[in-house]
């Protein structure tokens, strides 16, 4: 028991500055993450966005701050820049190949984030999507990470990719069609 305590004390003494810097980095980034999530929540509420979408964007903010914290922590712990370059080039090569194979997934997630901040239509609005191949007139039932759910008057559910809805002309037919 005494040996374990001695080992822990020696560890703390040896790495005291790294431990303090780590606590500082994670503390500051945790507070910044909370502030960013609060701003996203306020913006979402002011634009009357769906609570689920607000939480989703909040998760994206948390993951982003976690990645930043881990990168800073690597420098605090003394990892060399060359080691990080090798690590990130390997990770980005694998991600690049994966995302190139599934480019539409990344495109739809990015479009979902853009739609959170600037999409003029809300859940419950009746819209008309002007597509030369397939005209859609439907009510927005849900807006998700990858697609938007549209309900036609005959009850048919259409899942429309987020990246396509940002590329097509869309017109508002009726606000809050669910209220009727």
| pLDDT digits 0-9 by tens, 116-157 | 888 888 888 999 999 888 889 999 998 888 889 999 999 999
Asked if 164 contacts 123 with a C-beta cutoff of 8 angstroms, the reply is no
Per-residue model confidence as pLDDT tens digits over 5-40: 888 888 888 888 888 999 999 999 999 999 999 999
SS (H, E, C) the chain: CHHHHHHHHHHHHHCHHHHHHHHHHHHHHHHHHHHHHHHHHHHHHHCCCCHHHHHHHHHHHHHHHHHHHHHHHHHHCCCCHHHHHHHHHHHHHHHHHHHHHCHHHHHHHHHHHHHHHHCCCCCCCEEEEECCCCCEEEEEEEECCCEEEEECCCCCEEEEEHHHHCCCEEEEEECCHHHC
In this structure, are residues 54 and 62 in contact, taking their beta carbons and an 8 Å threshold?
no
Residue 4: per-residue pLDDT: 81
Contact 102, 140 (CB under 8 A): no
pTM summary value: 0.60
Fold classified for 117-179: SH3 type barrels. (2.30.30)
pLDDT above 60 (res 180): no
Rounded Cα distance, 148 and 64, in Å: 24
Q: What is the pLDDT of residue 28?
A: 94
Domain ranges of the chain: 2-79, 117-179
């Amino acid at each position: 028991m005494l040996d374990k305590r001695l080992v822990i004390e020696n560890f703390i003494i040896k790495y005291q500055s790294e431990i303090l810097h780590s606590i500082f980095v994670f503390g500051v980034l945790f507070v910044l993450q909370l502030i960013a999530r609060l701003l996203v929540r306020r913006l979402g509420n002011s634009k009357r966005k769906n609570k689920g979408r607000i939480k989703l964007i909040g998760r994206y903010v948390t993951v982003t701050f976690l990645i930043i914290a881990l990168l800073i922590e690597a420098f605090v712990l003394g990892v060399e820049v060359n080691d990080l370059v090798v690590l990130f080039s390997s990770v980005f090569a694998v991600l690049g190949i994966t995302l190139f194979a599934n480019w539409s997934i990344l495109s739809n997630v990015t479009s979902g984030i853009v739609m959170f901040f600037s999409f003029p239509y809300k859940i419950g609005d009746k819209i008309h999507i002007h597509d030369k191949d397939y005209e859609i007139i439907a009510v927005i039932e849900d807006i998700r990470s990858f697609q938007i759910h549209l309900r036609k008057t005959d009850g048919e559910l259409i899942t429309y990719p987020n990246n396509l809805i940002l590329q097509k002309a869309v017109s508002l037919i009726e606000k809050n069609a669910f209220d009727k």
